Amino acid sequence: MTAATETDRGLETKHRALWALGDYATVATDVVAPLGPVLVTASGIGTGDRVLDVAAGTGNVAIPAALRGADVVAGDLCPDLLARGEASARARGIGLRWQQANAEALPWDSDEFDAVLSCVGVMFAPHHQRAADELVRVCRPGGRIGLISWTPEGFIGEMFATTKPYVAAPPPGVQPPALWGNADHVRALLGERVTEFTTQRCALRVDRFDDGAMFRDFFKANYGPTIAAYRGIADEPDRIAALDAQLAALGDRYLAGSSAMEWEYLLVTARKR
């Protein structure tokens, strides 16, 4: 095994464990659920379309696509999230396939799907170009690629910037997730392999939190990256207190005395040439 392969496998294991922390299914259901139908609609998903949801989590895109009559596969690195999504879909009588998959090495044939989608999912793959290459590869010529990613300037992008000083530096070559929220970055990743490339900055209205402290405590309990940041400073009470204060202040700033936050994201649609 080469050193590069060992590093990649180590990253895969780390990311799988990261998203198994806490209860991302609660975040998906209580906060980001509206994004899935937005992406399905923007991508024009309809009856009979063969759809792949990459980094699907618990199926925020996969389930709405299946409800449109599409033939859907949900792939994710974390089996715990897939199991939660499959149980939810089964309880609602929704049929689709669930399969463990690494976004940087998708286990499907080239040109297999009519639409390849990812909602705040593929953005967390460590190597952006590898993941983008896979999105394009498995999409058929003329098929659709649809993405939703948090922007660097938006709320989640600022949250990542807030926690960055409290986490270990990533290995060489690993890029920040929020770069997927930059239109120029995504355009460069997809390159001339796509046409009809369109982008739109939108906002998710989040009325789940009364104040910044409530937001912070929800993410400390449920969101893997936030949990990991706190675990890394578990023996440093001063740093815990500082991060507590900074995350609560971020939430309060975005609430600005109102009952809801606006979390900016980038919506991308394109067609494979």
Per-residue pLDDT tens over the stretch 150-188: 999 999 999 999 999 999 999 999 999 999 999 999 999
* Number of other residues whose CB lies within 10 A of the CB of residue 273: 11
* Per-residue tokens: 87: 């149980």
The mean per-residue pLDDT over the stretch 252-268 comes to 97
Is the CB of residue 181 less than 8 Å from the CB of residue 149? Answer: yes
pLDDT at 4 over 60: no
Is the CB of residue 254 less than 8 Å from the CB of residue 205? Answer: no
Q: Which amino acid is present at 267?
A: L
Alpha-carbon distance of 185 to 188, in angstroms, equals 5
Q: What is the CATH number of the domain that holds 191?
A: 3.40.50.150
pLDDT at residue 3, rounded to an integer: 45
* Per-residue tokens: 155: 């709320």
The mean per-residue pLDDT over the stretch 122-127 comes to 97
* Per-residue tokens: 93: 């009588």
pLDDT at residue 1, rounded to an integer: 35
pLDDT at residue 2, rounded to an integer: 42
Q: Is residue 180 part of a domain?
A: yes
Which positions ≥6 away from 80 have C-beta within 8 Å?
Answer: 19, 20
Alpha-carbon distance of 150 to 200, in angstroms, equals 12
Is the CB of residue 186 less than 8 Å from the CB of residue 266? Answer: yes
- At 113, the pLDDT band (50, 70, 90 cuts) reads very high
Q: Total structural domains in the chain?
A: 1
Domain, as residue range, for 125: 3-206+264-272
pLDDT at residue 7, rounded to an integer: 74
Q: Is residue 67 part of a domain?
A: yes
Alpha-carbon distance of 197 to 7, in angstroms, equals 33
Whole-model pTM: value is 0.95
Q: Is residue 13 part of a domain?
A: yes
Q: Is residue 9 part of a domain?
A: yes
pLDDT at residue 9, rounded to an integer: 85
- Per-residue pLDDT tens over the stretch 207-217: 999 999 999 99
pLDDT at 85 over 70: yes
- Per-residue pLDDT tens over the stretch 222-237: 999 999 999 999 999 9
Q: Is residue 242 part of a domain?
A: no
Q: Is residue 73 part of a domain?
A: yes
- Per-residue pLDDT tens over the stretch 28-78: 999 999 999 999 999 999 999 999 999 999 999 999 999 999 999 999 999
